[in-house]
Structure 1
Amino acid sequence: MQGNLNEIDIRSILQLIALGQRTGQLLVEAGFHKQDNLSQDETLRHRHSKNSRKKSWFVFFLNGQIIYCQAGESNLSRIDDYLRHYRIDTGLEQKQHTSLATQNVPEYGYLWTLLERSIISPKTAHSIIHRLVQETLFDLLSLHQGSFTFRQGAALAPQLTSLEIAPLVARITQQVQEWKRLYPQIQSPEQLPVLADTTELRSSLPEATVNKLQHWADGKTSLRQLSRYLNRDLLTVAKAIYPYVLQGWLQLVDSATTNSKTFIPELGGEENHRPRIVCIDDTTTICEAVESILKLHGYEAIALTQPLEALGLLFQLRPDLILCDIAMPELDGYEICNMLRHSTAFRLVPIIMLTGKDGFIDRVRARMVGATDYLTKPFDDSELLMLVEKYVNYKSFMGTPKK
């Protein structure tokens, strides 16, 4: 049995395997092509996935029940993340890890090695398997583009546990639906929580809560890793931090942002005596024009063409004024403006909307989400400079470093 996910969804495939009481393995590959018509959620998930074109999952069955799931070519890190929760040091040498990684199902072999050496108990192994199956099914039930192949064959051995498909699918389908309600504040399990407003946190939350947030929101730990460290499902973790993201106290950044080619100037120093203007527009020519005009007149201008990435970078850049296009894919200007206005860090920062439509409705919508003003495209140098100077007093920056 094989096919494409635009012809039959994962839920139906799993139901067929359960009804037929099949034994074997299911391979699912997330295939993305330029001609694919991706949904908004799928596009975001694809964008946030590392090596998304190669992403794959294996699900192993015995008599129509799931006995294990593996995410692609695992490097054993998923299990290590769960072992961290149990505070278990495996004591395995690097060469033993390398040997395990060459097996057909390395994670499963890793678990059995830990069991045989009494490093973990059967109860712990069962719990880890259950969590791994849940997180894999969460990804699969969120997937709408790709291909699948089911091959009947001998069951994965030795067998530790088996899980019924129907209750698992019902529960995780509900989680996927609830996860979508957290959009756009939370978009991907691979996003990294980062503290955005420590001062506001300390004035609003107990010290113990702030300390926990500082420990976990280090910009290096993804939501998925966090769920493993805490041994909680992804939705529970996302819901716990959602209010803080909504308030602007925490921000979630793409894991690729840390390797972004976008230059982020250091705060402080002579360069930062100038007003910093950030332009967010998915049209490269607009960004280049704005940068050129503003730099020529003494401003520090930074152009960002990816709206999702820009949202995270703004907290690091701390601009004095933001120019934001309205019509952009994935995240439009209204959404960006609305989210920024919920953060104390951007409550008073001037936000000027760039639009190609000189219409009354656009102006009203811009005002409703908190925009300071708007600028209609196409615009000339004088129009841009006049509006920027209206909200940024250049002289006040001379000799006054940014705080």
Structure 2
Amino acid sequence: MMEILKISSLINLLQEMPNYRNYPYNGELIIQNRQGIQWTFYYRFGQIIWATGGTHPGRRFYRYVSQHFPQIEVNKIQLQIPDLARDYWDYIFFGKLSQQQSKSKQIETIVENVVAEILFDLAQQIYIAPLTYELKPEVTPKIPIISTSTQISLQQMQDSWNNWTTAGLTSISPNLAPVLCKPAQLQQEVSPAIYKNFVSIINGKYTLLDLAVRLKQNVLPFTQSLLPYIRKGITELIEVPDLPLPAMLRNNNPTNIPVNQQRIPLIACVDDSPQICKALERIITSHGLRFIGIQDPIQALPLLIQSQPDFIFIDLLMPGINGYELCKKLRKISTFSKTPLVILTSSNGSFDKVRSTVYGATYFINKPITTDKVMGILDKYLLAKKIGENINNLQLCSSNM
């Protein structure tokens, strides 16, 4: 049963958990906001051993790995994650890392900082609106990396939140990303060197927490340094999606699609035109296929990596990155080395067709798009192949009976 939680009751709850009902608590404490975002604390013998959740678990994971283990390429790590443990996959990763690399002190620092960061998130969330919580006893990682002190974690959270609010940042989440809105005005106010640095990092791709780690600064003074530009409207803070989870998780239903639908091909369209995306969606879904439309070409690569479509339509002319460049980037990723990539364009020139193939495109079709064009190209490069694979699988199964 979910119960209402305010800041005072959150502190009281966390203080009582070590001796929950006169016995050290083993299990989960799950906290949720009105939008359905969850944060989970894992307890063993009354002590917090890990915390997960929030809006950016992927970004948080990459931040701590890059900060403490810059030599590790996380996308190349293979780690078996049992289904029951998928909610705390990052905990398992750091546990294995502490065993393999004898870096227990660094892992302890990570655990303590992750717990403190999530407690800070909750303090800010409760400032906005009450949260709900529930307890799930006995659901916990088997082997703790470390046990943290609840009192110390709470004190760190209260100190951080007090410093944040005293600095006038109460309504600013460190999970927001700064983006430059008025470059001309900024150029008039700062030196050329500062302007160059500003433009290179304030691009809406990285959160305040991400940038603080990249610049090796504390997030509080870094955010304070941006506050004058935010108040003038030169810089704006925006919400950004989480980064794709590591490769070790992507092969296990990464898009939360029901298992009985995972064999249905997923078709993606990267086009800044909402009309084109809608038109393709109608055609593709009416033929029983799944569809994902991506209208922000800058976010296309991470979203495609996360969803792993079977076929991708790509607009040729888009802001930020054109179809050729996106094709080239996709072909460098092993996941998309054989994925059909079809360029969409209004041009009829033979030069563009040749150039498309040079950059790795499978085919090239002209706008306006029609059902015949779309389904014809899907039949040729995807559906016929899928049918052939199914026939081969059926023959193989028959021969083994």
Q: TM-score, normalised by structure 2?
A: 0.49
* Structure with a larger share of its residues in helix: 2
Quick one: higher RCO (CA 8 Å, sep 6+), 1 or 2? 1
Instruction: Report the TM-score, using the length of structure 1 for normalisation.
Output: 0.49
